[in-house]
């Protein structure tokens, strides 16, 4: 009975390659949305779990607890208040759907709207995971360039006009307006209003991804596009991954009931994990407002450590800004550096990074760019990792010529 | 900015209908995999959450904790031992993938193997959720009849031969051999071996769903098909929904690494909820072996309450067996009863049930059958619910003529 069975002839066409065995995290981990381990509020989570389980534990016996398929109601009630104060969003708890991470939100919205051959608009530099997901739908991905204030409205307008001339209505404009991934920009309110007007004019929707919007050092951010549009024609996704802990896998979609009901009709998973929702609701109601500024203090410090390390190790060879929030820095290296090749060489040296072409619709433009996430490694590891990266880069591409003011040849 | 936006022109073709607003659970809830609320081990879960968070809470800052994409390693270690003792499965923790409920397991396996027009074999009476999922893939669903020992091997053999004559290799044989849903049968070991031999002969896989296998009153069950096949050509899914709590949404896939690596390549959700996995691992390692017999005692009692209530209220009009485990009873009413219509009328009276045609590939055969889940309602609610159901059935279909030995006209 135990002779090997060859399942290959049974695979569906186009099945992706098998996953590699996991060998632990890289030594210098500058990828992924990992967060600062010391800021996981362990004792408060223990307290929240104890309280909520003693109060409502038996409801775990029913799918959806006693809250129905939108998710644990006290968490939606917390979000309804938090989103009003934070992002200006006026929504009831019944206009919020809890998802298994904001990734499930992306999948649900894409499934709702996208068919093969459809067109979507997206920031030219954007979240790599959004691009890989869109590729699976076989859609036409049109990148809109950014400046320091986020997506450029002149470029959006001309692209929409060109598409209209060809009879194409894009399914949506995907934007990360508040701490853009990877550039870190925050779109000013006027530009947000322009985007809404353009979306209306061209009868397309806006898909607003706010996964990083809690991580703004100043604590201040413009109202969300969803709020400025009164919720009409905008689907908003958010997450607790960046503000509390990514392993929890809790995100949410905010939309008017008409469209949320459609999304809910596609969510056939019998609910997202209830214990996480219960513990988050209990924790956030009491501690979210105090927790986030503390986390931001750590993150903004780590950003400065990364920036100083890059300046020290790469000198003028690395160009980067000083983002007002987030967990990543978008870095430009000299034109001769191919970050896809750098990625391979760095990996062998224990340094993980996101090569620019995976984070952009314009592979040539992003060729010598890379994204470095700074939230997870401690400051000493950040410094050492950048030193190792500079060594690898010098060996492979001859830059930086000087590190720590010492010539390296 | 707040004029309503008409998103209808942007929807993908074939989008399912919007979900209805949730109005709470029905008064007499005989549907779904809900469980017994009093058996949720609240204090032990509090203790498990406290212990595991204090020990490993900071690892929540990284996707996949420190365990990688297969899921929390201590949970996979627990499962590896539990499955060996319980189901005879020899597998390492790296041949187990933790999923967001076994439903995600179904989705992943279907995505791996199924394309439009493919053929799959399934028990003629089966899990309704599997049927609705398969319908979305546009596959040819061939039902194989059951008897008291589960799927009939003579029927399986002749169907495989007929398909082969037409050049068709089914992608898999889907089976729930241990506490079949909805019939409750347990397939004997010899029949399991026959199925493996037939699958091998016809070069198809077996998809073994064991979601209910912990709920066997005697605590004894035959080795799993996966174990009898040495894991070759078999994908196994299981769940903690029925043994601990459904709202947790934790299931698992067991398969040889070659095929599990393919499945893992499709799991693009950045991991399943970590807190649930951590708490389950901590709880199960200490308490699973004692918890399950206690739960089974409650469930087997509720089953007898349901059987007695049906006998009292429906008399000879209701036919049903005495399943050796599970959370549901498969009931045959007189031929003139259309359970799709009964479902509607019962719903209006506060009674939720699964109409047979939704739980079978043969709608005519299942027309007067229904599935009643008994795990969630308390004994008094079971009794009252069956009484209300009998009243509704009598009003709509003229049966049962007698209830509690009193003639009703």
pLDDT 10s digits, A193-235: 999 999 999 999 999 999 999 999 999 999 999 999 999 999 9
Four-point Cα dihedral B219, B386, B316, B391, nearest 10: -170
* CB–CB contact A3 B232 (8 Å): yes
A contacts of B104 (beta carbons < 8 Å): 269
Q: How far is residue B392's CA from residue B204's CA, in Å, rounded to a whole number?
A: 45
In this structure, the number of other CB atoms found within 10 A of the CB of residue A135 comes to: 10
Q: How far is B321 from chain A (nearest CA, A)?
A: 26
Q: Do A62 and B203 touch (CB under 8 A)?
A: no
Q: Quote the CA–CA distance of A50 and A145 in Å, as a whole number.
A: 48
Cα B303 to Cα A102: distance, rounded to the nearest angstrom:
41
Mean pLDDT rounded to a whole number for chain B: 97
Q: Which residues are CB-contacts of B50 (< 8 A; sequence separation ≥ 6)?
A: A46, A49, A50
CA–CA separation, A212 and B360 (whole Å): 46
The candidate with the shortest Cα–Cα distance to A60, out of B264, B24, B42, is B42
Segment A294-317 shows an average pLDDT of 97
Q: Write down the pLDDT at residue A403.
A: 80
A7/A4 Cα distance (integer angstroms): 9
Would you state the pLDDT for residue B408? 77
- Provide CATH 3.40.640.10 ranges for chain A: 42-287
Whole-complex ipTM: 0.96
**pLDDT at residue number A409:** 63
Instruction: With CB atoms and an 8 Å threshold, state whether A62 touches B104.
Output: no
**Cβ atoms < 10 Å from Cβ of A167:** 6
Pairing of strands A146-147, A150-151: antiparallel
Å between A117 CA and nearest CA of chain B: 11
Give the per-residue pLDDT at B3: 87
Query: Chain A contacts of B115, Cβ < 8 Å?
Result: 12-13
- pLDDT above 80: residue B409: no
Average pLDDT over every residue of A80-90 = 97
Facing residue for B269 by CB, picked from A39, A40, A101: A101
Report yes or no: B244 and B44 within 8 Å, Cβ to Cβ.
Answer: no
| pLDDT band per the 50, 70, 90 thresholds, residue A405 | confident
CATH number of B25-40+291-407: 3.90.1150.10
Pairwise CA distance, residues B391 & B314, whole Å: 10
Considering Cα of B271, then B104, then B197, then A16, what sign does the dihedral take? Answer: negative
Q: Which of B149, B144, B147, B122 is nearest to B133 (CA)?
A: B122
Report the residue from A61, A115, A203 with minimal CB separation from B12. A115
Q: Where in the sequence of chain A do the CATH 3.90.1150.10 domains occur? A: 27-40+290-407
Distance CA A317, CA A311 (A): 9
Q: Which has the closest alpha carbon to A205: A185, A179, A175?
A: A175
Q: How far is B142 from chain A (nearest CA, A)?
A: 17
- Interchain CB distance below 8 Å, B7 and A34: no
Check CB contact under 8 Å for A196 and B1.
yes
| Residue B166 C-beta-side C-alpha neighbours within 13 Å | 10
Q: Does residue B1 surpass a pLDDT of 70?
A: no
Distance from CA of B16 to the nearest CA of A (A): 6
Supply the pLDDT for residue A408: 77
Q: Which residue of A has its CA nearest to B16?
A: A265
Residue A224 in tokens: 């969300």
- Find the angle CA(B296)-CA(B301)-CA(B303) to the nearest 5 degrees: 95
Is A58 close to B49, i.e. CB distance below 8 A? no
Question: Which percentage of chain A shows pLDDT scores above 90?
Answer: 97
Instruction: Say how many C-beta atoms besides its own lie within 10 A of residue A23's C-beta.
Output: 7
Other beta carbons less than 10 A from residue B9's beta carbon: 9
DSSP-derived secondary structure letter, B186: B
Q: Which residue of B has its CA nearest to A269?
A: B103
pLDDT of residue A4: 93
What pLDDT band is residue A28 in, cutting at 50, 70 and 90? Answer: very high
pLDDT digits (tens, 9 = 90+) for B178-224: 999 999 999 999 999 999 999 999 999 999 999 999 999 999 999 99
Choose the mutation target among B19, B234, B278 for the interface with A, i.e. most A CBs under 10 Å. B19
* CATH code for residues B42-287: 3.40.640.10
Structure tokens at A336: 């001769």
Can you tell me the distance from the alpha carbon of B358 to that of B369, in angstroms, rounded to the nearest whole number?
10
What residues are paired with A123 via a beta bridge?
Answer: A144
First-to-final CA distance of chain B: 62
Q: What are phi and psi of B387, to 5 degrees?
A: -60, -45
Rounded Cα distance between B63 and A248, Å, is 8
| Per-residue pLDDT at B316 | 94
Structure tokens at B356: 């047979």
Q: How confident is residue A159, by pLDDT bands cut at 50, 70 and 90?
A: very high
Average pLDDT over residues A341-347: 98
Chain A / chain B CB contacts < 8 angstroms: 313
**Contact B247/A59, CB-based, under 8 Å?**
yes
Per-residue pLDDT at A3 exceeds 90: no
Query: Which residues in chain B are closer than 8 Å to A171, comparing Cβ atoms?
Result: 10
What's chain A's Rg over C-alpha atoms? 22
Closest C-alpha among B52, B83, B383 to residue B255: B83
In chain B, which residues fall in CATH 3.90.1150.10? 25-40+291-407
Calculate the average pLDDT of chain A: 97
A301: pLDDT confidence band, cut at 50, 70 and 90? very high
For residue B170, pLDDT beyond 70: yes
- Could you give the dihedral angle defined by the CA atoms of residues A57, A62, A68 and A74, in that order, rounded to the nearest 10 degrees? 0
Q: Give B271-296 pLDDT, tens digit per residue.
A: 999 999 999 999 999 999 999 999 99
In this complex, do B66 and A94 lie within 8 Å of one another by their Cβ atoms?
Answer: no
Whole-number pLDDT of residue B296 = 98
> What pLDDT sits at residue A117?
96
A-interface mutation test, from B196, B270, B291, most A Cβ less than 10 A away: B270
Task: Choose the closest CB to B11 out of A19, A112, A229.
Answer: A112
Q: Chain A: nearest CA to B197, how far in angstroms?
A: 8
Q: Which of A62, A257, A262 sits opposite B34 (nearest CB)?
A: A62
CATH code for the structural domain at A27-40+290-407: 3.90.1150.10
Could you tell me the CA-to-CA distances from B261 to B79, B99, B304, B378 in Å, in that order? 18, 14, 44, 43
């Amino acid at each position: 009975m135990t002779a090997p069975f060859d399942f290959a002839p049974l695979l569906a066409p186009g099945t992706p390659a098998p996953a590699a065995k996991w060998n632990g995290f890289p030594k210098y981990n500058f990828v992924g949305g990992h967060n600062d381990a010391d800021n996981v509020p362990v004792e408060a989570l223990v307290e929240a779990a104890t309280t909520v389980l003693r109060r409502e534990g038996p409801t775990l016996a029913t799918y959806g607890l006693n809250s129905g398929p939108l998710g644990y109601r006290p968490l939606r009630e917390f979000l309804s208040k938090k989103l009003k104060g934070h992002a200006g969003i006026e929504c009831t708890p019944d206009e919020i759907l809890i998802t298994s991470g904001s990734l499930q939100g992306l999948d649900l919205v894409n499934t709702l709207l996208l068919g093969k051959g459809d067109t979507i608009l997206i920031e030219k530099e954007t979240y790599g995971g959004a691009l890989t997901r869109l590729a699976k739908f076989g859609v036409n991905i049109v990148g809109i360039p950014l400046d320091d204030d986020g997506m450029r409205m002149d470029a959006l307008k001309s692209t929409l006009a060109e598409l209209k001339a060809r009879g194409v209505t894009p399914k949506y404009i995907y934007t990360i307006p508040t701490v853009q991934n990877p550039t870190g920009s925050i779109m000013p309110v006027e530009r947000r209003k322009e985007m809404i007007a353009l979306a209306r004019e061209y009868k397309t929707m806006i898909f607003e991804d706010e996964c990083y919007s809690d991580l703004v050092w100043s604590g201040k951010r413009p109202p969300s596009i969803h709020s400025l549009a009164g919720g009409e024609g905008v689907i908003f996704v958010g997450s607790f991954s960046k503000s509390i802990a990514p392993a929890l896998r809790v995100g949410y979609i905010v939309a008017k009931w008409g469209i949320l009901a459609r999304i809910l009709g596609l969510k056939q998973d019998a609910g997202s994990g209830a214990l996480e929702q219960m513990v988050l609701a209990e924790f956030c109601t009491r501690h979210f407002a105090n927790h986030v500024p503390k986390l931001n203090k750590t993150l903004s410090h780590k950003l400065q450590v990364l920036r100083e390390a890059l300046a020290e190790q790469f000198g003028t060879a690395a160009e980067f800004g000083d983002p007002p929030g987030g967990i990543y820095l978008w870095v430009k290296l000299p034109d001769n550096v191919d970050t896809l090749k750098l990625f391979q060489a760095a990996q062998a040296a224990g340094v993980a990074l996101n090569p620019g072409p995976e984070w952009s619709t314009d592979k040539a433009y992003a060729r010598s760019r890379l994204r470095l996430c700074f939230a997870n490694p401690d400051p000493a590891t950040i410094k050492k990792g950048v030193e190792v990266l500079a060594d690898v880069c010098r060996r492979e591409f001859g830059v930086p010529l000087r590190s720590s003011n010492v010539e390296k040849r």
